Every structure is written in C-alpha cells, then in structure tokens.
C-alpha cells in the first residue's frame, strides 16, 4: 500500500492539480477571512475563524473531487488498471494507497491556514482571546470531512472511466451527504427531522465545531469512510462478474 501511496502522491506533485488545489483553497479562504468586508475577521470584531470553518466545506466539496477524479478513471481509460490489478497487491492495498494519497493532499491544504489561527490569536484583545477548543474541534471536523469526501471521490472514480463524470458524481455525492440530509430535515418536524439530520455530515460537523468531540461523531465519520471504501472494492471486483 505504501508503494501505491508514494506513486500516487508523487504523481500529484508532478502535475498541476496539486498546486491548483492548494492555490485555489488558500486564495479563496484568504479573501473571505481577511479581505471581503462582509466576512473579514478584521471588520467582524470578534476573534474567531468561523468564516474559514463555514466556507472550507463548500470549497472542499469541489476541490476534493478534483483530486480524486483521476485515481481510477484515468487508469481505466489508459488501460493500465488491468496491469495494476495483476500485480501482487490486494484490492484493499490499491484502494488504501490511492485514498491516503488524496486524503493527505487535502490535509496539506489545511496546514497553511494555521497561520490564520496564530494571526487571530495575536490580534485578539487581550492577546489569545480566541476559543481554542472550538478551533481544534473545527480543524478535526474539517479533517474528517476531507476523509469522507475523499472516500466518496474514490468511489465515484472507480465507477467510470471518464474523469469529468467521476468529478460530477463525486460533487453530487458529497453535496447530498453534507447538506442533503440537513435540507430534508428542514422540511420535517419533530423527532424525524432530528434523526434525518443525523444521517448527514453537517450535523456532526457543527457539533465538532463547538469543541465537543463526541465519540458518536467520530464513529459516524469513520463509518461513512468505511462504507464508501468497501463500495469502491465492490466496484473493482465487479470487473470479474
């Protein structure tokens, strides 16, 4: 699996995709957090990074499918998937290597935003007047969100040989899992609305953003990742059906 991970990660670094993804993410978040007056921390008057944590999931919704769309679709189109699958590697090792490469690249996009935290920490009055627990929870939520989106993107790429179709399927899948259940819950009332909202990512992401790291939220994210990767394995096995 490490060989696949290294191969995929090197392929990302040798292509413009990685740099476009990192650049678009940092420019977009930087503009909204520091420049645009309606969302700028400097004009907002409160020492927090809620703008970043509200915006990042929507940017990830497009950028992570852009990272994952080539993983299996390109191999299928180029005809190298059969060569890859005949190597002494299990399907799990191939999927795991490609998945981790995409996930790590998404995490790399988050690392520079730590400068935002330290800047707001210094600008607070008094210095350090920022809810660090909520910030840590929000970063954990973003990392888990990226893990789920990467798993859905890998699954979409395994279903087709066309990268554009893989991208569109992944965007729709990520949107439905992130916001679809929340939207459906908004038209319901009472207990059903609560249970429907719990099926989506948004409810669990909001809980983590408050600094409340609950094991039920962690189990939810890991379960969605496991289901998506298992579905990817079934999609690859379907070649033998």
Q: Closest Cα partner for 101 from 67, 73, 149, 56?
A: 67
H or E element that contains 153: helix 132-158
* Separation of alpha carbons 4 and 24, rounded Å: 26
Q: What is the pTM of this model?
A: 0.89
Q: Closest Cα partner for 119 from 39, 30, 23?
A: 30
Integer-rounded Cα radius of gyration of the chain: 19
Query: Confidence band (pLDDT; 50, 70, 90) for 197?
Result: confident
Structure confidence by residue, pLDDT tens digits, 23-76: 888 888 888 888 887 777 777 666 678 888 888 899 999 999 998 998 888 888
pLDDT of amino acid 241: 47
pLDDT of amino acid 124: 73
Domain-by-domain residue ranges, the chain?
Answer: 1-238
As a whole number, mean pLDDT of residues 155-176 equals 92
Structure confidence by residue, pLDDT tens digits, 88-121: 778 888 899 999 999 998 898 888 888 888 888 8
Q: Closest Cα partner for 152 from 55, 68, 223, 71?
A: 68
Q: What is the mean pLDDT of the chain?
A: 84
Number of Cβ within 10 Å of residue 108's Cβ equals 15
Task: Tell the burial category of 91 from Cβ atoms under 10 Å away from its Cβ (0-12, 13-18, 19+).
Answer: middle
Q: What share of the chain in percent tops pLDDT 90?
A: 26
């Amino acid at each position: 699996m490490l060989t696949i991970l290294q191969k995929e990660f090197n392929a990302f670094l040798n292509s413009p995709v990685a740099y476009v993804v990192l650049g678009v993410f940092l420019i977009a978040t930087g503009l909204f957090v520091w420049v645009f007056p309606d969302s700028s921390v400097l004009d907002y008057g409160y020492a927090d990074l809620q703008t970043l944590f509200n915006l990042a999931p929507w940017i990830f919704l497009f950028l992570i499918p852009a990272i994952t769309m080539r993983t299996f679709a390109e191999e299928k189109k180029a005809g190298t998937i059969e060569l890859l699958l005949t190597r002494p590697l299990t399907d799990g090792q191939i999927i795991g290597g490609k998945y981790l490469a995409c996930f790590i690249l998404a995490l790399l996009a988050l690392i520079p935003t730590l400068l935002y935290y330290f800047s707001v920490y210094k600008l607070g009055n008094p210095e350090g007047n920022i809810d660090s627990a909520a910030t840590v929870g929000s970063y954990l939520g973003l990392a888990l969100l990226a893990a789920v989106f990467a798993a859905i993107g890998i699954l979409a790429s395994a279903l087709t040989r066309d990268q554009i179709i893989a991208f569109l399927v992944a965007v729709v899948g990520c949107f439905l899992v992130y916001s679809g259940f929340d939207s459906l819950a908004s038209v319901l009332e009472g207990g059903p609305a609560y249970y429907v909202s719990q099926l989506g990512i948004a409810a669990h992401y909001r809980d983590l953003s408050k600094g409340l790291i609950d094991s039920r939220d962690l189990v939810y994210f890991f379960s969605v990742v496991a289901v998506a990767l298992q579905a990817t394995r079934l999609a690859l096995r379907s070649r033998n059906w």
